[in-house]
Amino acid sequence: MSKKELLSALDKKYEALGENPETYLKGLLQAKPINYWDYIDVDALLSLQKPRTDFKDEEIFIMYHQITELVLKLMINELKQITLEDLEEEVFIDKMKRLKRYTNLLMTSFDVMRFGMSYDDYNTFRATLAPASGFQSAQFRFLEIYSTPLENLVNIKGKERLPDNPTTEDYFDNIYWKDAGHNRKTGKKTLTLRLFEEKYLNDFIRLANHMKGKTLAEKLQKFTNPSKELINAARDFDHYYNVEWPLVHLRTAQHYLDKKGENKAATGGSEWKKYLHPKYQQRKFFPQLWTEKDMLTWGEKTE
């Protein structure tokens, strides 16, 4: 594009907005060049680590979880794009592969947690973190809501408690992740769960109502004759995110909480051995792609 064509295109752009192009060109003349550190906001990013103790490895712990939140945001960004329109199969497959790639990043990054911190230091500074817990990651829950209808986030025991014609609120009362902090026999909830619900539950309910009929799983079902490549891409993402990643998380927790049979409690107070295992969570984004045997042995084949 020549300089004349470029200026003409800029004129048309701002005129279409009802603006005077000269105003913007004069502003561009005065604008400073953008730098990497300003564009990425590096100074702000590197100042977000605020340890509660003097243990140096606590900063690693904080940064690891901040990286995880950024990866979850990458995944939610893809999921939001999928819900905007009905994509061609080729584009849909590409999105599924991106989601798997990000999940793989979540899995491999757990090595930072598992092998990148002092065992003794971690088990000392973690006592200052209660009742905070990775369980309280709202993006984790938002991602699930974008991915699949709520009924796929309720395990077998939860489904037995559901009334006929359950509401969105009924599903959230029985959703799998509440098993980490809700004693169904006594009705008591942990402080970790209570604080989490106070801050985010209304947002979860709002998003779930908005996503009815538009989740990733429901978009996938609109392909009446899906290719083998599409089915495999969807199954890969489902298995990576809902089986492989939780098992990596479980093994990391075992490294710090169950070494030498010590069986330490999680900061959030959950029965972490049971809660983290995919066979108890039974979270599946695309149950229609799995056989009954697959679902009955969910997570057992890769232990």
29-to-3, 5, 25, 32, 136 alpha-carbon distances in Å: 16, 19, 6, 9, 47
Instruction: Tell me how far apart the alpha carbons of residues 68 and 245 are, in angstroms, rounded to a whole number.
Output: 12
Task: With CA atoms as reference, report the closest residue to 245 among 102, 145, 136.
Answer: 102
Instruction: Tell me how far apart the alpha carbons of residues 145 and 163 are, in angstroms, rounded to a whole number.
Output: 21
Q: Please write the tens of the pLDDT for every residue from 33-46.
A: 999 999 999 999 99
Q: Please write the tens of the pLDDT for every residue from 149-183.
A: 999 999 999 999 999 999 999 999 999 999 989 99
Helix (H, G, I), strand (E, B) or coil at 240: helix
Cβ-contact 278, 247 below 8 angstroms: yes
What is the pLDDT confidence band of residue 8, given thresholds at 50, 70 and 90? very high
Q: Please write the tens of the pLDDT for every residue from 11-27.
A: 999 999 999 999 998 99
Cβ-contact 272, 266 below 8 angstroms: yes
Instruction: Tell me how far apart the alpha carbons of residues 116 and 111 are, in angstroms, rounded to a whole number.
Output: 7
pLDDT above 80: residue 283: yes
Decide which of 162 and 272 is more confident: 162
Longest dimension (CA), the chain: 75
The structural architecture, per CATH, of the domain 63-296 is: Up-down Bundle (1.20)
pLDDT above 70: residue 233: yes
- Going from N- to C-terminal start, the domains of the chain cover 3-31, 63-296
Prediction pTM value: 0.89
Q: Please write the tens of the pLDDT for every residue from 207-223.
A: 999 999 999 999 999 99
Cβ-contact 127, 264 below 8 angstroms: no
Task: Return the pLDDT at 248.
Answer: 87
